[in-house]
Each structure stands twice: as C-alpha cells, then as structure tokens.
Amino acid sequence: MDIGPERRGRRPVGRATFRRRQLAAALGVVLGIVLIWVVISPLFSSSTTLKGGHPSTTQATTTTTAAPATTTTTDPGLLPQTDVEPPTDGASLMARLGPLFSAIQTNSLSSGMSVFFPESAYLQMKTGILPNPSSDYASRLVAFYGMDLATYQHALGIGAATATLASVGVNPAYASWIAPGTCENSVGYWHLPNIRLVYSTAGTTQSFGVASLISWRGVWFVVHLGPNPRPSNIGTVDQPASGPGTPGPPGGC
C-alpha cells in the first residue's frame, strides 16, 4: 500500500523512546514552574492573602523583653551607726515628722512606723545588754507607741481629720550626743528631747510634745511619743497645751 510521500523515509518510534520523550517534556514543565516561582516569589513575600483575595501587608517584628525593674531598699538599722547630727531646725523637723502627725490623725500604727526607731538598730544597741531586746522593742516601745497614737488622736478632738501641722517647736541646744555605754546602750546616738508639734484645729492653735527623738545614721526617729517614764502603762499625751507651748525640758537619753 502506498502511504503517501509525506511519510516516506520516517522510521517508526518505539515505545521506550516515546516514554523518554514524555518524561523529558514533564521535567521541562516542572523546571519551568520552579523558575517562574523563583522569579515572582519575592513579590509575595511581604503579603498574606486573606479570604476574599485581599492582601494584608505584614512586617517582621523583633520583640525585646526588658529586664524587670528592681527596687532595693536597705534597712538602715542593718548598717553601722554614724555620729552625724540630724538637722535641728523647725522646718527640717516639720518635714521629717509630717508622717507622724498624719499617723496621729488617723490613729495608724503602720503609718507611724515609718518614723519610728527601727527594730534592727535597736537590736544593735541592746544586744548583750538586755536579755531579749526584740521582745522589749515589741512589747514596750511599739506597744506604748500604739497606745499613744490613739490618745494623741483623741486629744485632737472632733477636728482631728482637718487639723493641720503648723510648726515644730524645738530648742536645738537640747540636742546631745549619748556616748556608747551610756543609758544601757552599746552604740552612741544623738538625742533630742521634748520637741513640740504645733497644730491648728477649728481656728485655734494648740500643741503637744514628742518626748524623745534619737538618731540613726543622721536621721531622727521617734522612740518615745508620750512621756518616758510615765505614771501608768496607758496611752499618755506629753504636755498638751493651748498655743505653741515651750520645748523642753532638756536632758534624758
């Protein structure tokens, strides 16, 4: 049979050859797709497609976690005593004892402890002298202080909440250095007796005393609010007076 001039001279293609050609074609398609992706993929690296085909631009972010802030407060009573004399002028004492007057107004022992002599310092002064200085601090000094705060608040009267500290009466000449080994103390300190808190209430000026301030590292602390010693173990206001009163007397330790 004559198959026509266009097919003359061609050899038939075997099955193996045909499959090789198919595989080569398939590999060419795959390589083409990979090449296209390499070219266009940077165009999509900065976006994410949401539902509906709308791209949402995203950016790489770096999160740095800062170290938490720390606050270190050293108990001054754990540090050694110094012989620095605290300020004895009325303005400085008024600033220092403002928290004391607020504690009196609210009868708040917890607030008043911010200006009360630290237990740790008391232990430095009394260890080896008293059999149990920690018990003495809590059951005598702090106990009297708590009772006195309540009694002083009562002395302010019904206007306690609105009373204002007007000034602090002080005689700087009464401040004295108490040497180590004196007054049953192994550590020396400055002592300032019988200052006065002068306050205004209901249009009048009145005052009462703070029996004893002592120093630790150049700062005044209350150690006795009411008188020491006192006639009985109850809260007692030290020298209440109409008007500013008079600081003193000197002495004591």
Residues 6+ apart with CB under 8 A from 251: 193
At 38 the pLDDT is 41
Rounded Cα distance between 38 and 35, Å, is 5
Shortest CA distance to 103 belongs to which of 167, 166, 160? 160
Number of Cβ within 10 Å of residue 100's Cβ equals: 22
**Which structure tokens are listed for 193?**
């007796």
The tens place of each residue's pLDDT in the chain, 253 residues long, gives 333 333 344 444 455 544 555 555 545 544 454 444 444 444 444 333 333 333 333 333 333 334 344 445 788 888 999 999 999 999 999 999 999 999 999 999 999 999 999 999 999 999 999 999 999 999 999 999 999 999 999 999 999 999 999 999 999 999 999 999 999 999 999 999 999 999 999 999 999 999 999 999 999 999 999 999 998 999 999 999 999 999 999 999 9
- What are the structure tokens assigned to 226, written together? 């009411």
Q: For the chain, how far is it from start to end, CA to CA, in angstroms? A: 142
Widest pairwise Cα distance in the chain: 148
Give me the residue spans of the domains in the chain.
79-242
**Helices within the chain (DSSP H only):** 15-44, 90-106, 109-112, 119-126, 133-136, 143-156
Of 130, 111, 96, 108, the C-alpha closest to 215 is: 96
Q: What pLDDT score does 77 carry?
A: 87
Residue 56, amino acid: S
Q: Can you name the residues that pair with 167 across neighbouring β-strands?
A: 198
**C-alpha dihedral (124, 225, 245, 203), degrees to nearest 10:** 130
Distance CA 192, CA 214 (A): 6
Q: Looking at residue 201, what is its pLDDT?
A: 94
Distance between CA atoms of residues 248 and 157, nearest Å: 24
Q: What CA–CA distance (Å, rounded) separates 207 from 168?
A: 9
> How many angstroms separate the CA atoms of 183 and 179, rounded?
9
